[in-house]
């Protein structure tokens, strides 16, 4: 269960929020579910200090990474820098970056490759907009985006990656895809991964659903065969609801 904080919580608020999560989560929770927070860059050092100091089992990561290793790229943050901060994950290709920063599949694949090169697992986001969904092209659209966003990666690299299916029309809208909607596309993603990278890789890759997941709907989504977890935006800012999502089995 990965919480995407988006551009919320400064580094003081981040500490308070992670402390709240750590206070609620138990070893039983961590044994059942891997929990991660994906924070703004400015929070990472504080989160690292807290996690290391208190030996917390919460993982953390960033929401973007440069495709470049180092050098004259003002404003960018490299994968090696994230790795040095102890990041386990980085989101690449979130629909908000595809939309507001015109990120292409080619760029997303380059960012995923850069992350993997530093031992940080990319959470590669794909998903269709409302027009595509209404026209019934959601599976083909998402698979094409998946192909482009994983282009050039080896099967071993794909195994280290996480895929997040996030239909754009369900992100931050309160409009959650039905479990069957999510399973339809995520099942197709797993089949495509098997075709492109082999059955073994497809079975190992974790595929998340993202789009208005809350404590109240997480169990239904997680009951679907191919859904391994969730990428949670808005509800991840509410510590109580995020913990409810982690405890979706209860």
Annotated catalytic sites, by residue? Answer: 94, 166
d(CA 29, CA 174) in angstroms, rounded, equals 26
User: In the numeric block, which tokens belong to residue 129?
Assistant: 């907009």
The span of 77-85, 155-163, 226-234, 239-247 binding ligand PEP (CB under 6 A) equals 226-234
**CA-only gyration radius of the chain, Å:** 17
| Residue 8 is assigned to a ligand binding site | no
Among 61, 211, 215, 229, binds ligand PEP (CB under 6 A): 211
Nearer to ligand PEP among residue 1 and residue 80 (C-beta): 1
- With binding defined as CB under 6 A, does residue 212 bind ligand PEP? yes
| Positions of E strands within 76-232 | 89-92, 121-126, 162-165, 206-210, 229-232
- With binding defined as CB under 6 A, does residue 210 bind ligand PEP? yes
Where b means 16+ CB within 10 Å and e means fewer, 47-67 reads: beebbeeeebebbbbbbbbbb
Q: Which of residues 149-208 bind ligand PEP (CB under 6 A)?
A: 166, 171-172
The span of 16-24, 98-106, 229-237, 240-248 binding ligand PEP (CB under 6 A) equals 229-237
The span of 65-73, 107-115, 150-158, 227-235 binding ligand PEP (CB under 6 A) equals 227-235
| Residue 118 is assigned to a ligand binding site | no
Size of the site for ligand PEP (CB under 6 A): 14
- With binding defined as CB under 6 A, does residue 61 bind ligand PEP? no
Q: What share of the chain is helix, strand, coil (3-state, %, to 5)?
A: 50, 15, 35
| Residue 172 is assigned to a ligand binding site | yes
- With binding defined as CB under 6 A, does residue 229 bind ligand PEP? no
- The tally of CA atoms less than 13 A away on the side-chain side of residue 105 is 15
CB 114 within 8 A of CB 78: yes
> Which residue in the shown chain puts its C-beta closest to ligand PEP?
233
d(CA 234, CA 214) in angstroms, rounded, equals 9
Q: Reduced to 3 states, what is the DSSP secondary structure of residue 38?
A: strand
Q: Cβ of residue 69: shortest distance to ligand PEP, in angstroms?
A: 27
- With binding defined as CB under 6 A, does residue 231 bind ligand PEP? yes
| Residue 75 is assigned to a ligand binding site | no
Kindly list the distances between the CA atom of residue 177 and the CA atoms of 138, 180, 245, 246, in Å, as whole numbers in the listed order. Answer: 12, 8, 16, 19
Burial classification of residue 142, based on how many CB atoms lie within 10 Å of its CB (0-12 exposed, 13-18 middle, 19 or more buried): buried
| Residue 6 is assigned to a ligand binding site | yes
- With binding defined as CB under 6 A, does residue 36 bind ligand PEP? no
Name the site residues for ligand PEP (rule: CB under 6 A): 4, 6, 166, 171-172, 210-213, 231-235
Annotated binding site for substrate: 4-6, 172, 212, 233-234
Annotated binding site: 4-6, 172, 212, 233-234
């Amino acid at each position: 269960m990965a919480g995407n904080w988006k551009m919320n919580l400064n580094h003081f608020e981040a500490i308070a929020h992670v402390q709240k999560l750590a206070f609620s989560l138990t070893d039983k929770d961590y044994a059942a579910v891997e929990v991660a927070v994906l924070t703004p860059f400015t929070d990472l050092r504080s989160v690292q200090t807290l996690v290391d100091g208190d030996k917390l089992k919460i993982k953390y990561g960033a929401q973007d990474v440069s495709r470049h290793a180092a050098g004259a790229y003002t404003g960018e943050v490299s994968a090696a820098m994230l790795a040095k901060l102890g990041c386990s994950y980085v989101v690449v290709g979130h629909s908000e970056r595809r939309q507001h920063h015109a990120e292409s599949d080619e760029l997303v694949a380059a960012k995923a490759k850069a992350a993997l090169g530093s031992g940080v697992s990319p959470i590669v986001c794909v998903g269709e907009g409302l027009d595509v969904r209404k026209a019934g092209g959601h599976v083909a659209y998402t698979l094409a985006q998946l192909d482009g966003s994983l282009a050039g990666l080896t099967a071993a690299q794909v195994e280290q990656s996480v895929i997040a299916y996030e239909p754009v029309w369900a992100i931050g809208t309160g409009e959650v895809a039905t479990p069957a909607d999510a399973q339809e596309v995520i099942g197709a993603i797993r089949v495509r991964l098997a075709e492109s990278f082999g059955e073994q890789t497809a079975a190992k890759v974790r595929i998340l659903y993202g789009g208005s997941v809350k404590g109240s709907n997480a169990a239904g989504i997680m009951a679907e065969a191919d859904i391994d977890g969730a990428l949670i935006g808005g509800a991840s800012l509410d510590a109580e609801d995020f913990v409810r999502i982690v405890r979706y089995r209860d």
